[in-house]
Amino acid sequence: MAEHTAVATGAPSVSAEQIRDLLARTPKGLLINGTWRDASDGGTFDVENPATGEVLATLASATPEDAQAAMDAAAEVQESWARTAPRERAEILRRAFDLVQERRDDLALLMTLEMGKPLAEANGEVTYGGEFLRWFSEEAVRHYGRTASTPEGNLQMVVRHKPVGPCYLITPWNFPLAMATRKVSPAVAAGCTMVLKSAKLTPLTSQYFAQIMIDAGLPAGVLNVVSSKSASAVSKPIMTDPRLRKVSFTGSTPVGKQLMKDAADSVLRTSMELGGNGPLLVFDDADLDKAVTGAVAAKMRNMGEACTAANRILVHESVAEEFMEKFATTLAGLTVGDGTLEDTKVGPLVDSNALESVTAFVDDALAKGARVVTGGHRVGDKGYFYAPTVLADVPEDARVSCEEIFGPVAPVITFKDEDDAVRIANTTEYGLASYVFTEDYKRAYRVADRIEFGLMGLNVGVISNAAAPFGGVKQSGVGREGGAEGIEEYSTVQYIGVESP
């Protein structure tokens, strides 16, 4: 076992003064009907920096009454908002895109501070997240319906899109900006109003982004933001309000299932972006250097805290040793540290629960016969750092093989042939992201036909793009975000039969 010794020692990229100034400028209240306000009972909650364990900021914590007020505001302006010209909605999104570029340093730093990801990755998220605003500003004015004669020729059929109506948008902590823009942008483009609830670990980025939407000209009440220490306190009044038309959720599968049950009571439209257990397949004909680069990106992006993370690295037995050596050497060289330091490549896990959870995953694998090739331990005793880890000889029944790890731990599992690889890849209730490394395009398509995943990277480790439909099958969810499909999720179809001329 190789101890992980690559620890960041570089200079901070930002000063304490810059951080204080940014936090002072970030809204701390609830955004209801265009105004930032305190919680109705004066309640608050703290947001922590996972690199230090210290409190960064204290925010208003929405009560059920506040959630109801946010829902009231969204319902009140739905009709007038639906009547705005698509061009007007498009231009608000485009201005918001421009403001995100102008304020990119603030957004990136907020994400690093509250979530832990290194500044370079946070900047990458600003680019990715910002693109949803630009993409849906372009989609807003090209969301065509259709018209045709009935087969009998007795009617003209006019098929048009209308906004679904007020939406409840719930986002997770791992991509604080992109998960918000991926929902807010198509909702705005389609003409929906909304209540946004971000995760309590990372609300600051959403608060800052909401102010950008106001500065871009979004009318009061269209976007309301209710951060809270209690998700259920906020969700109950919104989910049971008869004026709500849709819930769009990104988060864990158990919470998604519960929301689908709650949504059934009022037959709400639902979009569910849930957990993953992504396989990354390396065939014997793969370019191994490309496979290592792809595996490092797919495993280590966001410290492994991504629904698209390569959870299981499946390698043909004939190339396993060579792959593992190169992969483990690369991971062992990644510097771990505070995301604001210049040379950090891997930041902390999001909180103490995440650190405990990753530690328990590794302990379970070791108890079932796995071996640590590199890492396998916490780094330092302040903050929640865990070493990039490669595990070999991992049995299929270890928890790292079956469950979403959400950390920088890569179990390497060998396979014998294509059938075996596909069988192992599909042995999971999840079906979000998968990655295949092979130089044989016929094999690539055969595998794509057989693996049950909504996304597949072919010889690449990162594929998310605002222009592409993102989403899973099986228990990874229903619906798609981004692409031409994204706006459909916030639209309903109306058919008008018109008397033939």
| Contact (Cβ atoms closer than 8 angstroms) between residue 47 and residue 114 | yes
- Any contact of residue 172 with ligand NAD (CB under 6 A)? yes
Q: One-letter amino acid identity for 304? A: G
Tokens of 382: 């302040």
**Catalytic-residue membership of 307:** yes
Angle of helix 104-115 versus helix 204-215 axis, rounded to 10: 160
Q: Which of 48, 139, 192, 307 is catalytic?
A: 307
Cα 301 to the chain's mean position, in Å? 12
81, 132, 135, 173: which one contacts ligand NAD (CB under 6 A)?
Answer: 173
Reference 279, options 152, 448, 45; nearest CA is 448
- Any contact of residue 339 with ligand NAD (CB under 6 A)? no
Helices (H), 216-287: 231-239, 253-265
Q: Tell which positions 186-205 bind ligand NAD, by CB under 6 A.
A: 197-200
Report, in Å, the least distance between residue 307 CB and ligand NAD.
3
Q: How far is it, in rounded angstroms, from Cα 410 to Cα 389?
A: 6
130, 176, 251, 279: which one contacts ligand NAD (CB under 6 A)?
Answer: 251
User: Position of tokens 């040379």?
Assistant: 343
Window of 41-49, 250-258, 317-325, 363-371 that interacts with ligand NAD by CB under 6 A? 250-258
Q: Which is nearer to ligand NAD, 195 or 292 (CB)?
A: 195
Window of 149-157, 252-260, 455-463, 486-494 that interacts with ligand NAD by CB under 6 A? 252-260
Q: Which is nearer to ligand NAD, 199 or 436 (CB)?
A: 199
Q: Which is nearer to ligand NAD, 133 or 169 (CB)?
A: 169
- Any contact of residue 477 with ligand NAD (CB under 6 A)? yes
What contacts 487, CB < 8 A, 6 or more positions away? 136, 139, 140, 143, 186, 189, 190
235, 401, 414, 438: which one contacts ligand NAD (CB under 6 A)?
Answer: 235
- Is the dihedral angle over the CA atoms 297, 299, 305, 308 positive or is it negative? positive
How many residues in the shown chain lie near ligand NAD by CB under 6 A? 29
- Any contact of residue 276 with ligand NAD (CB under 6 A)? yes
Report, in Å, the least distance between residue 497 CB and ligand NAD.
38
- Any contact of residue 26 with ligand NAD (CB under 6 A)? no
Q: Tell which positions 346-385 bind ligand NAD, by CB under 6 A.
A: none
Tokens of 283: 């065939």
- Any contact of residue 302 with ligand NAD (CB under 6 A)? no
Q: Which is nearer to ligand NAD, 155 or 260 (CB)?
A: 260
HEC assignment per residue over 100-148: HHHCHHHHHHHHHHHHCCCHHHHHHHHHHHHHHHHHHHHHHCCCCCEEE
Q: Which is nearer to ligand NAD, 191 or 431 (CB)?
A: 431
Report, in Å, the least distance between residue 274 CB and ligand NAD.
5
Q: Which is nearer to ligand NAD, 78 or 302 (CB)?
A: 302
b/e string for 162-198 if b means 16 or more Cβ within 10 A?
ebbbbbbbbbbbbbbbbbbbbbbbbbbbbbbbbbbbb
* 479: enclosing H helix or E strand: none
Window of 65-73, 122-130, 173-181, 294-302 that interacts with ligand NAD by CB under 6 A? 173-181
Window of 62-70, 150-158, 169-177, 361-369 that interacts with ligand NAD by CB under 6 A? 169-177
Q: Which is nearer to ligand NAD, 198 or 293 (CB)?
A: 198
252, 359, 459, 492: which one contacts ligand NAD (CB under 6 A)?
Answer: 252
Residue whose beta carbon is closest to ligand NAD = 251
Report, in Å, the least distance between residue 277 CB and ligand NAD.
9
* CA distances for 339 relative to 49, 52, 345, 349, angstroms: 10, 11, 8, 11
- Any contact of residue 171 with ligand NAD (CB under 6 A)? yes
Length of the chain: 501
Q: Which of 273, 305, 404, 489 is catalytic?
A: 273
| Contact (Cβ atoms closer than 8 angstroms) between residue 164 and residue 112 | no
- Any contact of residue 211 with ligand NAD (CB under 6 A)? no
Q: How far is it, in rounded angstroms, from Cα 50 to Cα 305?
A: 13
Tokens of 224: 């309301």
Q: Which is nearer to ligand NAD, 252 or 266 (CB)?
A: 252
Report, in Å, the least distance between residue 256 CB and ligand NAD.
7
Q: How far is it, in rounded angstroms, from Cα 173 to Cα 205?
A: 10
Window of 62-70, 125-133, 167-175, 442-450 that interacts with ligand NAD by CB under 6 A? 167-175
Q: How far is it, in rounded angstroms, from Cα 384 to Cα 52?
A: 8
> What are the catalytic residues?
273, 307
Q: Which residues bind ligand NAD (CB under 6 A)?
A: 170-175, 179, 197-200, 231-232, 235, 250-252, 255, 258-259, 273-276, 307, 404, 432, 472, 477
